[in-house]
Amino acid sequence: MLVLVTGGMGFIGSHVVTALTEAGHGVRVLDALSPTAHGAGAPPLPPVPGVEVMRADVRDRAAVVAALRGVDAVCHQAAMVGLGKDFADAPEYVSSNDLGTAVLLAAMAQEGVRRLALAGSMVVYGEGRYDCARHGTVRPGPRGVADLDAGRYEPPCPHCGEPLSPGQVTEDAPLDPRNVYATTKLAQEHLAAAWARATHGTAVSLRYHNVYGPRMPRDTPYAGVASLFRSALERGEAPRVFEDGGQRRDFVHVRDVADANVAALHGLGTRIEPGTLRAYNVGSGTPHTIGEAAGALAEAFGGPQPVVTGEYRLGDVRHVTASSRRIRDELGWSARIGFADGMAEFARAPMRAPTPPTLPTAEAPAPETIPASAT
């Protein structure tokens, strides 16, 4: 089938393009080639020879309609990612992620494209799963400034105040987005679910956990924590680990994530009921702490050892790790690249060098096609 990959020149999207072509599918890319992700130089070449790349913003309705012609399915990776710098980023997050998704879905409805794989995120859960010895599974509230200032990072049981045991979150857990980016990712899911009901389309949301690997952007506050650590090492600096470094996450390699997208697109034609959106966690299934990730990268890079700073960000959560059993059982996907091997590769892998963001222009540029035969 012919698949449109939005954001297909980006970190995750470029790996998705490679995985799809290796699986025998045709691919077309729509990407704005934002300087914050790609740098200010000449546009990068198509990720795979023979792949057509259309340079346009996903909020440009005419460009999206043109990109959808002849397409069988869409893999929607285009988004503004990360926690950002402060709340002043909120309008651009909402515009890029939610308006962009709405424009895409409206164009898909118009053009009769009925299969969608959405790049979701584990941030929609807020905190992950916690169990109290007395009260069973509980949902702790947001951590308070006074506790964080005092170094009390672990959320207590909301009923008795006793310590909690973190576990793996499933797709049926309550959703509780706690920052602007998380809110936009949940809104994307709601929009996709509404589109599926209205058009009798099929959709999946792949809730990525902490994705890392080659081609991550460096030196930007909008990247994931693994990129921040690797960027510091590239500059000859020690990675700065917030809180006490004990935050638990599920680090999943980008090539595994790309393979999950291929499995999801195959499932849209066979396993997913029309008119619905089905969510899947995409994680390795093996939790590691933030401190372990920083240490593994520093050791493999041969750079300065991490520094635990005690700093914190109110938008962060303490622990969130994945149960990826649903996607394994229903779509046959599981991660193949282990933490040690993946981090060792990433420590020496090439990264992108973005430039500081510029203010958006009043009008989006006309779509530009980068020839697929460029070398």
Residues classed as catalytic: 181
Please give the C-alpha separations between residue 278 and each of 260, 281, 298, in angstroms, as whole numbers.
14, 10, 38
